[in-house]
Chains A and B, each alone.
Chain A
């Protein structure tokens, strides 16, 4: 299909693949990018939040024409039970800054835009092309890819795998292990459309201001997981996700869980009268640092979700994807300039460079959290119930004196989780968080 040899082949046109391809092409490298969807973004799903910093380091003036929805001025964290939530809301006019820090985006549109920049930089993009396997030389070095196109092989000095969480090429080539049901989450999401004035009045917004809500509690029915609600210009993204093994054991359906979340008395009024125009589902790699595979080898590098680059605690992923893509691209450019080959030894530079960034620092910091959350389901059931009950006891005025109320709340916590349980949980959380 492609006769010429490339400096690099990038598998996938999501944020990580685009970041890698763009970085290399801007430095004059000859890059081929392969995407299995009809257009970049057609197979991709995200909440979605765009973190400006990671993209700014690649395309500093992205705000001029990127399809951004709303810049986030308010973050809500809801701990929910069946009828109520206890919320921590942070809203600041400081986020109405000249160069906002976070935006909501619509992923398919964003990926299309990013891909346009990548092609402008000179990358050859082939869509509707699925990579079926890696090609190796007799020494085992990766030298190219085979695709499902007629005669579809292509060769390069290095292959960058930005093929996403469900990346079969790397797994089937033995570069990384199969995903495990207890470290991967399944999230489902709907896009609900409403006139922008309605969204602005319901969320107390003006202009392009936006609100994001992250929610946990009984909405996941005892499973490890969270829900989210993001405001776009004329739509609301709503979704919920839980660990796959929890879903398998619970017997719950993902869309049943989403339906219950939508019907929660605190959520329903936000969506009232909206029209759902898309239903999507996607896996999220939530295993963190301990689930990270080998990141490079002779002739290959892995970036983005395929490399488990997701910070589940802070709901960050696309920024890790873009950063790993950029660093991978920079590493390849650096090797090229030094006229060195893409051997495993030389590509260790990729990991060295990553170690200096927030990506590895954050993932290492939270390396114990996925396991903690998986083993301590009370975080998602018992505590939300105790917290909301305490709030209700405290706020309901019913002739009971305040000291008695305090006692009642304290007793409820002791009955609900026992004193050693409470202390143990606090200790375990602190140790995992450290």
Chain B
């Protein structure tokens, strides 16, 4: 997942690294078979761009060409990205294969 800082954006609160939170979670990563893919694009839509701050697992980031990329190893499978980009169709979303992905101990 991204190692870049993803700002809290809330005044008075220092930026939070989402990786530190995800570190607590258990995952069974399906190596080489990401369950979310971003379709090729030159300029991301507003919705796709919003995922760089909206994804609760910080899976999305912008590369230096301005395109949005995703590394979904830390995905918590909430589906927010799928819902937000349903209209633009920029995100190809599937559940991880049975048994893979996040494993909540407490939920």
Q: Which residues of A contact B (CB under 8 A)?
A: 36-38, 41-46, 48, 106-109, 111, 127-130, 147-149, 165-166, 168, 178-181, 184, 186, 188, 190-191, 221, 235, 237, 244, 247-257, 259-260, 263, 276-283
Query: B84 and A108: CB pair below 8 A?
Result: no
Selected contact of B10 from candidates A43, A44, A259, CB within 8 Å: A259
| Bound Cα distance from A235 to B47, whole angstroms | 36
- Contacts of B7 on A, CB cut-off 8 Å? 253, 256
Shortest Cβ distance from B17 into A: residue: A255
What 18 new A-B contacts, CB under 8 Å, besides A37-B103, A45-B104? Answer: A42-B104, A109-B106, A130-B97, A130-B98, A147-B98, A178-B86, A221-B10, A235-B106, A237-B106, A253-B16, A253-B53, A257-B8, A259-B13, A259-B16, A277-B106, A278-B24, A278-B106, A279-B76
Q: Taking the complex as formed, is B43 at the interface, i.e. its CB lies under 8 A from any CB of chain A?
A: no
- Contacts of B93 on A, CB cut-off 8 Å? 168
Number of interface residues of B (CB under 8 A): 46
Could you say which of A46, A106, A254, A257 has the most chain B C-beta atoms within 10 Å of its C-beta? A254
Q: A166-B79, A283-B80 are in contact. Are A255 and B106 (CB under 8 A)?
A: no
- Contacts of A255 on B, CB cut-off 8 Å? 6, 8, 16, 18, 21, 56, 58
Query: A283 and B104: CB pair below 8 A?
Result: no
Shortest Cβ distance from B21 into A: residue: A279
Q: Which chain B residues in 82-102 approach chain A with CB under 8 Å?
A: 82-84, 86, 93-99, 101-102
- Contacts of A251 on B, CB cut-off 8 Å? 9, 50, 53
Q: Which residues of B contact A (CB under 8 A)?
A: 6-10, 12-13, 15-16, 18, 21-22, 24-25, 28, 46-47, 50, 53-54, 56-58, 76-80, 82-84, 86, 93-99, 101-107
| Bound Cα distance from A37 to B100, whole angstroms | 7
Shortest Cβ distance from A46 into B: residue: B107
- Contacts of B97 on A, CB cut-off 8 Å? 130, 148
Q: A129-B98, A179-B83, A247-B54 are in contact. Are A281 and B10 (CB under 8 A)?
A: no
B102 to chain A, nearest CB (A): 7
| Bound Cα distance from A353 to B16, whole angstroms | 48
Selected contact of B8 from candidates A37, A256, A279, A282, CB within 8 Å: A256
- Contacts of A257 on B, CB cut-off 8 Å? 8, 10
Query: A108 and B77: CB pair below 8 A?
Result: no
| Bound Cα distance from A188 to B25, whole angstroms | 13
| Bound Cα distance from A175 to B102, whole angstroms | 27
- Contacts of B53 on A, CB cut-off 8 Å? 247, 251-253
Q: A108-B106, A252-B53, A281-B76 are in contact. Are A244 and B12 (CB under 8 A)?
A: no
